[in-house]
Structure 1
Amino acid sequence: MSEIGYLKILQDGVWTQNTGLVALLGLCPLLATSNSVVNGLGLGLATTGVLLVSNIAISLIRKLVRPEVRIPVFVLVIACVVTAVELAMHAFLPGLYTVLGIFIPLIVTNCCVIGRAEAFAFKNGVAKAAVDGIATGLGFTLALALLGALREVIGQGTLFAQADLLFGDFGQHLTLHLINDYRGFLLAILPPGAFIGLGCLIAIKNVFDARAQRRVAARPATVLREAGV
């Protein structure tokens, strides 16, 4: 069996097997923190950092860990990385740390993190494990950011509100007010709005995937016609 390439790892992590839109893992933080783009980006980038470092660490020690105790070892490694990320956010991004609250330490229990450790990092080398961590994290961040943007625009009529929590003083100039005198749509910001928004994003992704599959299926027939067969 041929080894999986780096491009395929990136494609699977970001789009084909997207954690939030396909595998539907980590739904608790995905739905709870995605009421704005900034919150989604903040948690997504934190999760990406945890995935990258934990994948690398687990790949480095994979030959030293007995299969019988691999899950407790995974949890220990991930917990150490999450603690470091939490302390860093508390020190450098205190506002965002306060907003995200309990969902930062709960990255330890995120199924996508321990799932990639079990399914990929424990079975592959450091380079591929690192790429997989980045790809999976970017895919999760993409889902968080898209859902956050959808809910923020519909719920508040803004985009990148409170961007200073993530980008500092520069973020104060990033807020876009898309609809003047908008009274808001409360459902989009509440938990039911998260479920509805996620369903819409999954439906849109399925439409794109179906169109791509039809184009691929039609390609051989087009080649044959052009060749005069």
Structure 2
Amino acid sequence: MNFKDKLKAGVILDNPVFMQLIGLCPTLATTTSLQNALGMGVAATIVLICSNVVISALRKFIPDKVRIAAFITIIATFVTMIDLLLQAFIPSLAASLGLFLPLIVVNCIILGRAEAYASKNKVLPSALDGVVMGLGFMFALVLMGFFRELLGGGTILSGIVNGVSGIAVPFFNSNPMVMMILPAGGFLMMGFIFAAIQKIMAGKEDK
């Protein structure tokens, strides 16, 4: 499978959130704004790529009985590095993501790819797997974050990093549906997206 096919599978056909239904906790919790979604998506993707590479490189040296503990230790190392970097350079984003940043350690997507792919394949394919699955996760977060912020606040990219109030969108800005940035709004938006995906897939099957 070439890179184009892998990218299509990771982002669309085998999307970890919309197709595999894993990683839903950070997806629902951190998508109250587009900038939060981007921050979590980038952080998780970096951790996924780096942990896949290290686990793949050490796969022949890690005893089978302690492999899960070893994987979590490796993942936790990279999560701690990302957390400290964000606290040092973008403290407002780190504060906004809160507990969900260190909880990347137990994200089902990252641990799942380590067990299912990186521990069984060479370094380069494992790195590529991390890239495409990370982009798929980020795509889901960004899609959720964009629509929740637009509908719930009437803005796009409300400032977390730069303190900017965000780009106001006419009509939406004057009639915000505040519920969309509340916990219930996350479930509603995910339901709408699932319904749209099912409609599109059903249309393709009919053709």
Taking structure 1 as the reference length, the TM-score comes to 0.84
* Secondary structure at 2:40 match in 1: helix
Q: Contact 1:10/1:131 (CA < 8 Å) preserved in 2?
A: no
Greater displacement, 78-87 / 12-21: 12-21
- Superposition RMSD on alpha carbons, in Å? 1.7
Given that 1:33 and 1:40 are in contact with CA atoms closer than 8 Å, whether structure 2 keeps it comes out as: yes
Q: How does 1:168-187 map to 2 (within 5 A)?
A: 168=162, 172=164, 175-179=166-170, 182-187=174-179
| Match runs of 1:214-225 below 5 Å | 214-215=206-207
Question: Post-superposition shift, 1:128?
Answer: 0.9
Which runs of 5 or more residues in structure 2 are unaligned? none
1:100 to 84, 97, 105: 97
Measured in 1, the distance between the counterparts of 2:169 and 2:4 equals 36
Write out aligned runs for 1:62-73 (5 A): 62-73=59-70
3-state DSSP class of the match of 2:19? helix
Is residue 77 of structure 1 aligned with residue 77 of structure 2? Answer: no
Q: Once the two structures are aligned, what percentage of the paired residues are identical?
A: 40
Gaps of 5+ in 1: 216-229
Letter of the 2:189 partner, please give it: G
- Residues 155 and 12 of structure 1: is their aligned pair in 2 closer, same or farther, counting only changes over 3 Å? same
3-state SS in 2 of match to 1:22: coil
Structure 1 contact 59–125 (Cα < 8 Å) conserved: yes
How far apart are the structure 2 equivalents of 1:214 and 1:64?
Answer: 49
Normalized per residue, the structure richer in helix is: 1
Aligned residue pairs, count: 206
How far did 1:177 drift? 1.0
Q: Displacement of 1:179 after TM fit?
A: 2.4
Q: Does 1:195 align with 2:192?
A: no
